[in-house]
Amino acid sequence: MEQATGVLRGSAHDDVVLESIQFNEEIRGIMAPAPAPENGSSFTALLELPPTQAVELLHSPDCAAAAREPPCHVNTNQKPYLLDSYGGNLTFPSNAALIERAAKFSVFAGENSPPEDAARLAPTSLSGAVKNEPQETDSNPCSTQGCVSDPAVETKNERTPKRKEREKKGKGSLKKSKGIADESSGDGEKLPYVHVRVRRGQATDSHSLAERARREKINARMKLLQELVPGCNKISGTALVLDEIINHVQSLQRQVEFLSMKLAAVNPRIDFSLDSLLATDGSSVMDSNLTSMATPVMWPENLADGNRQHYQQQWQFDAFHQPLWGREEANHNFMTPEHSLLSYDSSANSASLHSNQLKMEL
């Protein structure tokens, strides 16, 4: 999480720098028509800001366009835009906890969740965000990152070419601002479009950026798969891991086929037992299959609370409880077969155990 936070912190700079130019135009567009105060437009934001900062904000569009602004101005620039896009939610995440949340959600969640969470959770403490020093951007990277994705979705098409141009031009400042956070650019895939952080000395070519974003997406998914498939953690290299995955899928499919053949072979039995064990009453029909019906019949009735699922649980329990009861009326044996049946992983073991006991008994 800290890494993610650091990445957010450092990476927001370039993003923020890039965003500023586009946002400035937006802001001018926003401020020109009559802003309704209750809609959280730019004026509302300005009103909440202390006067000096507000003046700065008003002036900064010009400054930012001319020179690469320090992030604080840019951050304050972005707020009206973000406010407007939220339509009244004066929400700015300024908590470290929120940053972590946004990072967490942005890594795993879809594109909507970071801005939604930010909107829901963040206190509207503009003052805290406004006091940003150029270096202090931990609150706003989150808002930038999280909030950008939401407007980004809407205005994706026009943003992307602009962004890439700015990224190319802003390489110099990128290098400077990225000096703080030199970590890997792993955030690229969270957001709906290319949102890749550039490392020091790496190309900011639009193609390579897209390539990098794509690669990061793929790598993240490969990691998940590696965790899923046993024995893939030690293997390095995409091709070999893919081999393992393919083998695993094939073996699983073969297992399913084998089990289905086995089930088909047990065919005549299924009709009997399924009908009997799934019957709500079960008392009379069970006689045909299982011996010593009295105690087991009592047992499901005690446990059954009218829920269908419970009955089906009983179905799985009873067949095993039967032989045990027949052999020894030990009630403490209830729990173990029940647990073992519930956890399918050990069911194979326990089932073989029970069948062994059955055979011993008979």
Partner 1 sequence: MSSLQSNADSTNSEPLQRSNPKKRRKIGHTNSPTLVPWRSDTQQRIYSSKLAHALRHVLRRNHPPPPAKSNTGREVRETADRVLAATAKGRTRWSRAILASPLNRWKLRRMHKKVRKAATGLAKRSPETRRRLPVVQKKARVLGRLVPGCRKLSFPNLLEEATDYISALEMQVRAMTALTELLTGGTSHASA
Of the two residues 283 and 313, which places its CB atom closer to partner 1 in the complex?
313
**Taking CB under 8 A as the rule, does residue 97 contact partner 1?**
no
Binding mask 136-155 for partner 1 (x = CB under 8 A): -----------------x--
Q: Which of 1, 55, 65, 261 binds partner 1 (CB under 8 A)?
A: 261
Task: List binders of partner 1 among 262-321 (CB under 8 A).
Answer: 262-264, 266-271, 273-275, 278, 289-290, 308-309, 312-313, 315-316, 319-320
Distances in whole angstroms, Cα of residue 132 to Cα of each of 89, 94, 127, 247, 319: 20, 10, 9, 54, 69
Task: List binders of partner 1 among 157-216 (CB under 8 A).
Answer: 192, 214
Of the two residues 81 and 105, which places its CB atom closer to partner 1 in the complex?
105
Q: Which of 3, 249, 281, 284 binds partner 1 (CB under 8 A)?
A: 249
* Closest distance to partner 1 from the beta carbon of 312 (Å): 5
Q: Which stretch binds partner 1 (CB under 8 A): 86-94, 132-140, 162-170, 218-226?
A: 218-226
* Residues 269/303, Cβ–Cβ less than 8 Å: no
CA-CA distance, 333 to 328, in Å (whole number)? 9
CA-CA distance, 186 to 77, in Å (whole number)? 26
Take residue 194 and report the two structure tokens written for it.
Answer: 């290319």
* Closest distance to partner 1 from the beta carbon of 290 (Å): 8
Q: Which stretch binds partner 1 (CB under 8 A): 43-51, 110-118, 137-145, 161-169?
A: 110-118
Residues 6+ apart with CB under 8 A from 23: 74, 77, 78, 81
Of the two residues 180 and 304, which places its CB atom closer to partner 1 in the complex?
304
Number of residues located near partner 1, criterion CB under 8 A? 79
Q: Which of 3, 39, 184, 255 binds partner 1 (CB under 8 A)?
A: 255
CA-CA distance, 21 to 63, in Å (whole number)? 10
Which residues are bridge partners to 117 per DSSP?
Answer: none
Binding mask 45-74 for partner 1 (x = CB under 8 A): ------------------------------
The closest alpha carbon to 98, from 149, 140, 152, 48, belongs to: 140
The closest alpha carbon to 189, from 215, 164, 170, belongs to: 215
Take residue 215 and report the two structure tokens written for it.
Answer: 């690669």
Would you mind telling me the total number of residues written for the chain in this entry? 362
Of the two residues 14 and 150, which places its CB atom closer to partner 1 in the complex?
150
Which residues are bridge partners to 124 per DSSP?
Answer: 92
HSE-CB at 111 with a 13 A cutoff on CA atoms is 15
Q: Which stretch binds partner 1 (CB under 8 A): 27-35, 36-44, 170-178, 256-264?
A: 256-264
User: Residue written as tokens 């101005």?
Assistant: 73
